[in-house]
Amino acid sequence: MKALTIRQPWAGAIAHQSKRVENRSWKLPAKHEGARILIHAGAQPDKWAAVYGEHLDVYSAIIAVATISSCHYDNGNPVCCSYWAQPDLYHWELADVIALPEPVPAKGALGFWTPSDEIVNAALRQETGVAL
C-alpha cells in the first residue's frame, strides 16, 4: 500500500471536511488510479492556506485512508469538479475517505511512498476495526 504526503490544512480537509480533490502539478500514474492509499499529513503546513476547522493541526502522521477514483486536468474551466479544485492543475479525485480515530505517526516523503508494514497495519486496523 502506498501513502501520499499532503501539507496541512489540506490533509485534514480531506480527512475531516469535504475536500475530495487533491491538486497536483503532475498527472496521476495510471497504476495508482483506483488504488486505496494512506493520507499522510506532512511535517510542514501550507502557510498560505485559508482553511479552518478542527483536526487541521496534526503533523507527520497518517490521518486517513482513501481511494483515488480518477484523475483529470483542469485547463481553467470555470465549472469544474469541486470547490477545492484549482485551475491549471491535475485533479486527483478521492472517494471512500475514512478519517482515522488516532493519527499514526510516520515520516513522509515526496510523491508516493511505501510505509512500513507496521504503519500500514496500524492504519488499516483503525479503518476496519479488525486486527490484522
User: What is the CATH T-level fold of the domain 2-128, as seen in this structure?
Assistant: 2.30.130
100 has pLDDT over 60: yes
CA distance 72 to 75: 10
For 38-53, b where at least 16 C-beta lie within 10 A, e where not — what string? Answer: bbbbbeebeeeeeeee
> Is pLDDT above 70 for 28?
yes
Place 29 in a pLDDT band, splitting at 50, 70 and 90. Answer: confident
User: For residue 27, what is its C-alpha cell?
Assistant: 498527472
In tens, the pLDDT along 39-85 reads 999 999 999 998 999 889 999 999 999 999 999 998 876 567 788 88
pLDDT for 60 equals: 98
DSSP for 65-79, written as a single string: EEEEEEEEE--S-SS
Residue that wins the pLDDT comparison between 113 and 55? 113
**Structure-derived torsion over alpha carbons of residues 17, 54, 130, 117, reported in degrees to the nearest 10:** 90
Per-residue confidence at 27, pLDDT binned at 50, 70, 90? Answer: very high
- Can you give the pLDDT at residue 81? 76
Mean pLDDT of the chain: 91
Strands (E), 1-132: 2-8, 21-24, 36-45, 61-73, 90-105, 112-113
Measured in degrees and rounded to the nearest 5, phi and psi for residue 112 equal -75, 140
Q: Domain boundaries in the chain?
A: 2-128
In 3-116, where does DSSP find H-type helix?
Answer: 10-16
